[in-house]
Amino acid sequence: MSDVNMDKLHEFVGKMLGDLGAANSVATVRVGARLGLFEALYEGGPATPAELAQRAGGLAERYVREWLMAQAANGYVMYDAKAKTFSMTPEQAMVFVVKDSPVYLVSAFDLAAATIEGEAKVEAAFRNGGGVRWGDSAGCLFCAVGDFFRPGYVNNIVQNWLPALDGIGERLDAGAKVADIGCGVGFSTLLMAEAFPNATFVGYDFHEPSIEKARKHAKAHGVADRVRFEAVTAKDISETGFDLITTFDALHDMGDPEGCAGNMKRILKPDGAWMIVEPIAGDAPEDNLNPVGRIYYNASTMICVPTSLDQEVGLGLGAQAGQAKLTEVIKAGGFGHVKRATEGPFNMVLEARH
Ligand SMILES: C[S@@+](CC[C@H](N)C(=O)[O-])C[C@H]1O[C@@H](n2cnc3c(N)ncnc32)[C@H](O)[C@@H]1O
């Protein structure tokens, strides 16, 4: 141990303390969110543990007190030592309370929990080289994934991403035919359908339970007459004549993304566009050794790679494939033009044309 630099060790252990604190906050954040504690604290204003316990519907004060101390230590709520009350700032509320905020992150904690639930199956796949079927690794991985991406979609698809594609906004206004492939529980499809009342939409995903949920969401949003959801793999979609195809955080999960791209080309009109939304990533691995890449690489190990390896070909692109690799895959499917239309802190948006 003589070559251990004590300063470097202290620095590293300091970082680990922060990381372990974050890991240990997963359960308390989820419990608090389900019990409405964040909402009650923010909306009702500063409270003692007893007041918050009462406000949240008569919870056990002793638990609420410990939970509040945990969140104060996390830095997720504020503590006023003089008044002995807790409160939340508007910024903390953006992350823990406001569900349509672009930085609402509670679902990211659900996703973390889902990856822990899936450990045994993924560990077995490390040993046998196989995959884990989408949705099999955790009870409701697909719900957590849908909720995790939803805030980004609510704040970007209609406002930023679709307008970045050449001429697509006008076509959607006029009444385009759209396929949302790998649509999951359908949030992206429904957001587009609500924004473009003249257009028609088909959401495709190979996971039946996701499609069932998507159909329920469509009914609840009153758009079921213009939106249809079908359980089918991307390569087997037979309907043609789409003006726009979208894939939101799904291409890299496919086992045979090149084969899927080939089918996208076949079903897209010659003058149509394919919008590929993928996690933001640089082309070189070292470009992604940052906080966003860290979240994606961890999720990719536990979710994206096992999902892809479970399917035919099993290319296993991973969530940090980067634009160069994605372009290669899309072009292998026969597309002649691929460019980056726009990007955000978590996603890049590629546009592919025949
Ligand atoms: C990370 S999720 C994203 C879901 C949804 N687009 C969203 O953003 O919430 C990836 C989705 O791709 C779907 N998927 C993976 N491989 C597929 C394939 N070969 N054909 C169709 N869907 C596929 C999964 O079922 C899953 O719903």
Residue range 195-251, pLDDT digits in tens: 999 999 999 999 999 999 999 999 999 998 999 999 999 999 999 999 999 999 999
CB of 67 closer than 6 angstroms to any ligand 1 atom: no
Q: Which CATH architecture has domain 6-96?
A: Orthogonal Bundle (1.10)
Question: Which atom of ligand 1 is closest in space to residue 254's alpha carbon?
Answer: 16
Q: What is the pLDDT of residue 1?
A: 67
Q: What is the pLDDT of residue 140?
A: 86
Q: Which CATH architecture has domain 106-353?
A: 3-Layer(aba) Sandwich (3.40)
CB of 171 closer than 6 angstroms to any ligand 1 atom: no
* Residue 87 CB contacts under 8 Å (≥ 6 apart), including other chains: 41, 42, 45, 46, 47, 77, 78, 80
Question: Which atom of ligand 1 is closest in space to residue 308's alpha carbon?
Answer: 16
Query: Which amino acid type is present at position 247?
Result: T
Select from 154, 183, 238 the residue to mutate for testing ligand 1; criterion: most ligand atoms less than 8 Å from CB. 183
Q: What is the pLDDT of residue 189?
A: 98
Buried b / exposed e over 163-178, threshold 16 CB at 10 Å, is ebbeebbebbeeebbb
Q: Which secondary structure element, helix H or strand E, spans residue 16, and what is its range? A: helix 6-34
Domain boundaries, the chain: 6-96, 106-353
Q: What is the pLDDT of residue 306?
A: 97
CB of 302 closer than 6 angstroms to any ligand 1 atom: no
CB of 206 closer than 6 angstroms to any ligand 1 atom: yes
The answer to whether 221 touches 215, Cβ cutoff 8 Å, is no
The answer to whether 163 touches 273, Cβ cutoff 8 Å, is no
Please name the residue whose Cα sits nearest to atom 4 of ligand 1. 184
Largest Cα separation within the chain, whole Å, is 72
Residue range 198-208, pLDDT digits in tens: 999 999 999 99
CB of 147 closer than 6 angstroms to any ligand 1 atom: no
CB of 257 closer than 6 angstroms to any ligand 1 atom: no
Please name the residue whose Cα sits nearest to atom 14 of ligand 1. 182
CB of 85 closer than 6 angstroms to any ligand 1 atom: no
- Tell me the pTM: 0.95
Same topology, domains 6-96 and 106-353? Answer is no
Profile the chain (354 residues) by mean pLDDT over runs of 10 residues: 91 97 98 98 98 98 98 98 98 97 95 95 97 89 92 96 96 97 97 97 97 94 93 98 98 98 98 98 97 96 97 97 98 98 95 98
